[in-house]
Every structure is written in C-alpha cells, then in structure tokens.
Chain A
Amino acid sequence: MMNVILDYLLSLPSDIIFADISFTIMLIATVYFLTKYAKWKWLWSWITSTDHKKIGIMYLFVSFLFFIRAGIEALLIRMQLAFPNNEFWVFQGERFNQLTSTHGTVMIFLVATPLLIGLMNVIVPLQIGARDVAFPFMNSLSLWLFISGGILINASFVAGGSPNAGWTTYAPLASKEFTPGPGNSYYPIGLQVAGLGTIMGGINFIVTIIKMRAPGMRFMRMPLSTWSMFITSILIVYAFSALAVALLLLTFERLFGTVILSASEGNPLIWQHLFWIFGHPEVYIIALPAFGIFSDVISVFSKRKLFGYPSMVFAIILIGFLGFMVWVHHMFTVGLNTNITIFFALTTMLIAVPTGIKIFNWLFTMRGGRIRFDTPMLYALGFIFTFVIGGVTGVMLGTVPADYQYHDSYFVVAHLHYVIIGATIFGVFSGVYYWWPKMFGKKLNETLGKWNFWTFGIGFHITFFPMHVMGLMGMPRRVFTYPEGDGLGFLNFISTCGAFMMGIGVLFFMINIYITTRYTKKRVLNDPWFSRGRTLEWTIPSPPPAYNFARLPEVKSREPLWDAYERGNKNINFIGEYEDIHLPNSTSLPFFMGIGFLIASFGFVFEIWPVALSGMLIVFLMMSIRSFQQKNGIHLPKEKVRVQDMRGED
C-alpha cells in the first residue's frame, strides 16, 4: 500500500510535488501553533462570528493569502518569460496556460473583489453609523461561500489540473472537446459558488445602506467610500447575475453535453457576450470602491473638504451606469457589425469624462490644503499618477482601428494592470493602512509603510511600463515563449526584475504587519490621524466594540467629526439614552454550508454524483436547520454598554 502511494507521488511533476510538500508543511505548522497556543477556541469564535468587522477582517486575510499565491504565480510567469526561448522548470505550454489562467482568475475573483468586500464590511456600517449589516447571517454565508469557491480553484492545481483557457475561459476551448481534464470544470463551478456569495454580499450592502443609516445621515451626506460601495453593490447584483448564467451554461456544456456554446450547433460568442456583460462592470466593481477610499484619504490627508462632492457622486453613478454599456470593446476583433462596434467605441470614450471629473476633483481637493505624506496618502498619490496613465491607454484602446493592433497583445496586459493594480490594489493598500488602526487599535509602522509603497510602486512601473512597448512589438498575450532577436528579450528581462521588486514590496508589508502586531505597544485613540478625521468611523474607539456605537451619532453635515473639531470639540454629539443593544447570534451554519458546497463542488467537478449529492444534502440540511432555529440574537444590557462607553472616553 505504501509503495503504491509512493509510486503515485513520484509520478507527479516536480512542481506539484513541491506544492504538495509546501501545503503539508503549512498545514502542520498551522495546526501545531494553534494547539501550542491553545487558539482553537479563538479560531472557532472567528469562524462562527457574525460581527461585520470580524467578517471583513477574515475577508481581507483570506484574500491576502490568495494574493500571495497568485503573486507567486506571477513571478513564475515572469521567470519563464525572462529570456527568449526560455525553459524555466515545467512552465511551458500547458502548464504555462494553467499559470496565467489561475493567476488571472484568482487575482480578479478571489483577490481584488473580496479584498474590497472585506473593506466594505469593516467600513460601511461604521461610516453610516450602524451597529451591523442588515443580514449578519447572510454576511457570514457570503464569506464562507467565497472561501469555499476559493479553495476549490486553488486546490485545482494539485487535484487534477488548473483551468487553462485563460481567466476569460473562452468557449469552445473551454469545452470538453478541447480541454477534457477537470481543470476547466473547476472554473465555472468554483466561481459559481464564490459568485453566489458575492451576490448575497451585494444585496446585503444595498439594504444596509438604504435602511440602516444613522439619524440625519442623508444620502448626500454619506462619505464617498460608502457611496462608491453602494453603487458597487448594485453593480454586483446585476453583473454577477450575468456571470452566474454564463457559468451555468459552461457547467452544463461540460457536465451534461449541451451544445449552446459549441461551434457546430451553438455559438461560442454567446459566452463572450455574457462574460463581458459581467466582465466590464466587474472592472468598475473593483475600481469604484477604490475611488471612494481615495476620496476619503485624499480629503483627510490634505485636510480639505472633498472638492465637488455632488459631481463626485454623480460621476460614480454615471461610471456605474456606462460600465454596463461598453462590454463589446473587449470584442472589437470578433467581426461584429461596424455600427455596433462604433456604438460601443463611443460609450467607451464617454466613460473617460466622469473619470476625468474625478481625477480633477481629487487634484483640486489637494489645492489649498495641508498635504501630509503618510502611507495611505502615498498610495492615493501613487494611484493618481498610475491611474491616469492607465486611463489614457484605455482611451487609446477605445479607438477601434488602433485596437485591432493592441487587442490581445501585451499592450492590453499593461493597460489592465495599470488600471487594476493602480486603482484596486493601491486602493486596498491605502485603505488598509488608513483603517488598520480602526480594525486593530494599532497604527502600522510608517517607515516600513514607506518602504512598502516605494518598492511596490516603482517595481510596478518597471514591470508593466515596458509591456506597452512589447505589445507594440507584436508580442501577443498568454504566450509562454518568444523568439530571440526581436528586442523583446531586453524588455522582458526588465519586466521580470520589476516583478521581483513588487514581491519585495509585498514582503515589506508582511514584515510591517508582523512587527506592528508583535512589538507596537501603543494603542491608538478614536481618531489616530492627527485628530483631523472627518467621518463617523473615527468617532468611536479603535477597535470599536461589537455594537460599534454605544449611542447613535448625530449627523448634521457631510463631515460631522471635522465640523466638531473646527468648533473646538473633541468629538461629535451622540443622541439619545443608552439602551439595550441587540446583537446577532454567532452561528456555525454558514461554515458548514460552505463545507457542503465544497464537497458538492468536488463531486460535480469529477462527476461523482453520490459525492455531489451528499454535499448538496449537507447544504439543504443546514438551510432547514436555519429555518426552524429560534435564535433571535442576544441583548446587551444598557448598564454594561454605558460602563464600557465611559471607559472608552478616558
């Protein structure tokens, strides 16, 4: 028996053995440390938590793990491409396609989106003066569906092969005829599970923002972060529904042999349309919250009111709306009717207008202010610099005939990384540095933060700027090799160096977290940013109590805290008496539903129906338990709230 297992293991390619070994070591280490420091109970309290702040932190943590994994994939890709005709390890042909496909899929679906949802979870209730989200149970379920879909896509590498038809997974390459292995089944099934969670999250935040704002927090008084996350939630509900349909079609195509996306009886372009009807709004789903974060950060660190607040809100809404009308610009070379192409080129160019409004409003927010260069602000400034370049190449891509040249070349790779890293990843870094004190009560180390920003930022430009030129040299995207003598080798080598520099930047970030958590003793006050915060989250202790607001805040303007400071007060006024506070029960059901979905998904991927069925049974069992449960939450007595609140004010 041992011999059989050993033989099987030795028959695996070296990269999978390596992945298996490192995974086993990490698992053992985690179990060891959890046991050694007796943290299992602590872990369980997090897993079963329905507190939006804890769920947000878990979202951030898990997506950061995925970020590291997909980042390592990026480094492997860059190593294979460092030299012409290179043969690095096993990453040629098939394996290279697996690398690029999972890098893209993980980064978009399991890093960019959930990182922002994590920040949304932490911030939105605090900014609107609410005690939790509208549906705490559903919130936890969203998290566990995301984790379970994420595990599925991440495990594919060692269990049967990863998706290998690109992150866009175009049919008919993704159909069983051309990629028979389980790899491309992981993609639709894993994303379906994660996507369900995302849709629930979207609904949750729409309801939260509409129904749970504090007294006086009118729509036109909401901070820009909340506004952008509100619009994003609406986009999520519409866009991810389109994705769900597309994924369902692909799943049916692969598992049950339908022919809707096939070339012979069906039409593979159906997939492209559905995918991009989701895919382009997705760009704004991950960009808009970042815009919101930057609006808050730039305003706080310039000590100026946001310039042109109404036009900023209007621009977000317009971008969200137009975002649904530009999807065909991903398909200009497909051979559609010219009139259609022209229409979508026009809408694509139009979207530059609201984006321009935002850029200039940010610039003029800084004018006349007192600009400070703390790490959140550095990331915001880096964003303006980077995103303008990305936006400009976006307009260039919108000029159809020129796009015939750029399309599917490294020019597009450069553009999309300028936009997504420039907005989303910079935005998340900025937001994490900005709200870290609120989440954990300690400020991240500024020196390391600056090292983190400069290495990551400069590395980013060294990596991706040359890619514009590579694209114009005629290098198509998703190629694992290129011939010598085109001058491509030099640029690719520079790009690879830059990628490693970005990696060092991320290491600085991790070191920063470790050092801050381990060695910083100083706990921060309500408002750690030189007492010039503007919005509600800085009026409560850091980290906030489970119920956030002991008494409800009184909102009379857009920036209540700043106004209080200007009047010489230390904090805003809270209204009303202390009252018993209702808190949701913690629950393990979402966790087990996630496990149910995970088992079912493995069953579907490998088409072992009993496994799929038993997984779904677990899910339905949990749902029925939930239906008959009589847990209506717990009430925190007002006396306790009052005592805690008084202690917080010292």
Chain B
Amino acid sequence: MTFRYALFVIVIISASGCSNIAVLNPKGSEAQSELNLLYLSLALMSIVLLVVFTLFTRFLMKYRELPGQENDFPTQVNGNKKLEITWVVIPIAILTILAVPTFATTYQLDNKTEIVREPLEINVTAQQYKWKFHYPEHDITLENEVKLPVDRPVVFTLHSKDVIHSFWLPQLGGKKDVLPNQVNKLTLTPLETGVYDGKCAELCGANHALMTFDTTVIEQEAFNQWTRVADIQED
C-alpha cells in the first residue's frame, strides 16, 4: 500500500514535469557536466540506500519479538571482524568512484575561464536587489536582463557594490558568489536558445527574493545585430 502510494507520488512528480526542474533540464555545457555528476552520485547513493533499506526491512520483519518471547535472553555477540571490514572497504570504493570524476570536473570548471577561446566578456555588478550587466566590448549596459549568443562561452566577471550576493542561472550552470572585496569569474556556455531565469542565491537583504534577472539566449547572428542596434541607441 505504502509502496503503491510512493509510486503514485513519484509518477505525479515526474509527470508534472522534469522539464520544470531546472537543474535536471540543462541548457548549457557547464550545467550538463554538473548534472552528469548529480546522476552519478545519485546512482551510487541509490546502491547504498537499497542495501541499507533492504537490511533494515528484513531485520525488522525477521527479528520482531513474538508473543511468548518476552522473557528470552537472545544470544549476545560482540561483533564480526569480516563484516566490519566489509562496510569500511565498500564505502571507500564507492567514494573513490565518485571522487575521481568529481575532482576532474571541479578542476575543469574552475579553470575554464583561462582555457576558453574568444569568450564574450560581461561585467556583472550586483547591488542590493538589482543586477547590472555591462558588455565592455560593445559598451552596452543592461539592468536585470542579459542577452547571450548561443554556443559561445561567456565569462562573467562578478563584483558586488554592497553585500554578498550569489549569481545563479540554474539551467546554464551552478552559482558563484558575488563578493564586495574580490572579483570572481564564472564561465557559462549556453547550448540552446531560450529565456532562462537568473537569481540571487545568497541572502542579501529585504528584497533578496525579488533580485532576479532574465537571460535571453539568441542566435549568434541575432546577437550581433542586437549589439549594433543597442550600441547606436545608447549613443
């Protein structure tokens, strides 16, 4: 019964759309490699969950105290070396499988800024409850919205004017804190056109929840066109 109910809930949630679940529906290469790790860790951890819950249910069913056993003294054991070694070694093995790709991806993502060629540079200035995006190449400034070309790496140079914020575009990649005393860089590469939600992920004051921005990813050609028009309009 419980099982059927659980199944029902899972079906409802997945039917209501994995497409709604931003992190599971990546539109950028960074978000994709982060998602791969999510699936890897989830798969490995499912093994752990399965083993524990199987033993758990089995032991609970098998070793319940039955009527008439109340005054028994079950045999007492101190432990079992072999078993205890098993549950040290196997977790270490599982963690190693998880650790290697984790570390590789971390180095890859953290150093992307230096590797990518001809990225689009955008200076992001966060300030209580608004985001300013400045394109130094085209000298365009946008507020609470950013336009990006598809398939071209973008390097966001993040800086805050007041408190600590955090820059998060779930469908394009993970977050990076925006600090007032240090410049952070984040590289994202959108792979599909569309409009994506961006938000502040670090509590920054009363209107933290409202500090959002729209990200529009458009075709490269359209982007070039837009930069020309916007540049003229600004002048």
Contact = CB atoms under 8 A, between A and B. Distances in A.
A480 interface: yes
B229 interface: no
A372 B65 contact: yes
A345 B179 contact: no
A409 B180 contact: no
B48 interface: yes
A302 B75 CA distance: 11
A618 interface: no
Given A308-B79, A404-B34, A371 B65 contact: yes
Contact of B109 (A363, A364, A398, A404): A404
B64 A371 contact: yes
B196 to A, nearest CB: 9
Interface stretch (A224-232, A384-392, A442-450): A384-392
Contacts of B163: 170, 172-173, 178
Nearest to B109: A401
Interface stretch (B97-105, B117-125, B134-142, B145-153): B97-105
A405 B23 contact: yes
B170 A93 contact: no
Interface string A375-389: 000000100110011
Interface stretch (A331-339, A420-428, A542-550, A601-609): A331-339
Given A366-B63, A399-B98, A407 B175 contact: yes
B95 interface: yes
Contacts of B209: 93, 476, 478-482
B48 A392 contact: yes
A396 B41 contact: yes
Given A304-B76, A345-B103, A476-B201, A401 B174 contact: yes
15 contacts: A173-B164, A173-B205, A266-B181, A268-B179, A335-B184, A338-B106, A345-B103, A346-B99, A368-B74, A388-B52, A392-B48, A393-B45, A404-B34, A472-B22, A479-B208
B136 to A, nearest CB: 21
A333 B48 contact: no
Given A263-B181, A372-B65, A566-B73, A309 B78 contact: yes
Given A356-B88, A366-B59, A474-B170, 10 more contacts: A173-B204, A178-B128, A303-B74, A346-B99, A371-B59, A393-B45, A405-B34, A407-B166, A476-B201, A487-B16
Chain B interface residue bracket vs A: 35 or more
Contacts of B179: 263, 268-269, 334-335
B221 interface: no
B181 A267 contact: yes
Contacts of B69: 370
A395 B45 contact: yes
Given A400-B106, A405-B175, A165 B203 contact: yes
A352 interface: yes
